[in-house]
Structure 1
Amino acid sequence: MNAAQRTPLRPGDRVVGKWSRQEWTVQAQLGAGANGAVYSVRGTDGALYAMKVCDDVGAVAFEWGLLEQLSSTGFAFPKPHCIDDSATHPALYFYVMEQVEGRPLDEIWKTLSSHDVKRVLLGVGYGLRALHKSQHAFCDVKPQNLLVDLRKNQCVRFVDVGGVTPFGRSVRQFTPTSDAAYWGFGERRASARYDIEAVALMVATLFESVPQSLPQWPVERRQAWILRSIRGRHDKSVGAMLEDAVRGRIHTADEFVRRLYTLNLRSTSVVKQSAPKARTRAPRSATAPTAGQRRGPFGNKPVHSSAKARRRSADWTERLMWWALTCAVISTAGAWAEYLR
């Protein structure tokens, strides 16, 4: 455990940069990771920022360099603002970046429709595509590292660069349930394929919670469980895509995005509804369809089958009338032509 985690900053604490002389006031702790903690801070300009605090200057310099590099490849990661060490807190190294708006994916997952899930995963795919162009993998894919802004059409942002690793290197930080090697599907080495596998595994474990005893299971049993969970999806096209991803058959973020676009999903909740233990008769309501009724195309007002039949009969009567009228006009015109000739 590092110093930043042993002695956390408290709301109201002031951090003054030793070299920049800029000042930030701590608002709240946003989270803590393997190599430091992240705080919401307010600058002297009144704006809110996120401050990553470590006791290791090397970790700060490494992550800062990655942020600077990634800021030119896309918008998924926070924009870097300033790097410094503290003049008021000894051995406190930090960098300041954009504070990303949104909520962690696991907090909103159960509220998303299938179309919302598709939109979120497309956002993840686009973010990974930009990252992979720099020959880096995200690696530590987990819901807490993906913030979704519901006010901006499910815009997805990545908030932790601690696990970002150059292609071909061993993965330094990972979450076991999103790690292909943990499930026996691949090696723990940074690549585009590793990230796609991680996203699919994350989605599968969001659909269905993993058993508490999973860490004690052998790899073969874990693999059988995750595949059974994926194949049990109500939407078979989603299950097929997830299985292809976890088995390493989707190699790039571009391919992942293309597969997502081919999914034709219904606007339903992604949460499985458990069957009731006993059958009960629900009371009829003004909006619930009864026998001889069906819902309209947007699921709002019930439409009576008999009413539909009456409309269909009226449509045919109107067509027959216009057909007869047209024939009469043609016949009359022919008669006048014969008479005048």
Structure 2
Amino acid sequence: MNEIRIGMIGLGGMARWHIEQFGKVPGVRITALCDVSAEAVQELGDKLGISPEHRYDSYEALIADGEVDGVVSVTPNNTHAAILKGCIAAGKPLFAEKPLTRTFEEAEEVLELYRHNPIPLMINFSYRNGAAFQHARKFIQAGRLGKINHLFVQYLQEWGAPPSNTPYVWRFDEKVTGTGTLGDLGSHMIDLSQYLLGDRISELQAMLKTIVPERSDPLTGQPYDVLVDDFACFNARFNEGAIGVFQTSRNAIGSGNQHEVTLYGDQGTLHISTLNDQQLIWTHPKENGVKETITELIAVPPEEGLNPWQSFRELIRGNTVSEFASLEEGFNNQAVLEAVVRASQSGGIVSVASLSAKPQ
């Protein structure tokens, strides 16, 4: 089959990781670039040998490029909806970063358009890709935990804590990001918990907090008020009855990138963490009726992980690709984020289904 030609929108650090990974996929080549930074476009364009006519400063132009077979979007949240709409209108396959959109209202608009004109699409909730999380999903599907009664999910980082003196960047700007750590890290917690359980959150109660209320502009030093959360917690009920306890923070000193899930079932407890993505911790009763437990460390080979870059190639070729988040799942994720915000504001319990008349 002909070579798959990829256009990249957004050329920051995460985009460069995607470019590196696509470079390992046979039959795929980056052929077009777009960024608001002319310097970034020139640097990467020269490095990748992109012809000048396929270097863009507008995402609309890249999407319209007839020599681009699929689009990879790695941009701040305030452009997610527009790029989704553009690709849907053009019928162009899209590999997009989470969250689906900046706001729930934008997500509703995108869902409506998509249902009328669906396109090949993957939302990159990247922790699904990890070998340990993939093995845990199979472990759960095999029934080894029995009925799952409750779970604890956390995603902790330290880069926003006071000792770091982190300046005011786009992730703290409500007009760009929508919510703070909730949409950034919390969206991963929501997706991974629902993915592992094969179930959806039905209702929740929540609290959001801004621990560092003011940050300085990195160029001028001018102080800016931070209006988004940098800590979020919520308790959630799943459709089939499990209860989840969730917390996420950018102020957890000592936590570089600590995303983990502990599931408590009738037959034992399973723990998965990014701190060791090639291991599960499985605690369960001993056999023969002995009233003691045993803890096993289950090694997971790295090849159990998913390869989203190779899968996007297959999606563009018209092949079926499973295990990655669909637009509908991205919409559901956005609905749960919105429920967290409303529950924090009201102090009550919010039903996810009550947010919209559109089926999820």
What band does the TM-score fall into relative to the shorter chain? under 0.3
Taking structure 1 as the reference length, what is the TM-score of the superposition?
Answer: 0.24
| Superposition TM-score, scaled by structure 2 size | 0.23
Which has the larger Rg? 1
Structure that is richer in strand per residue: 2
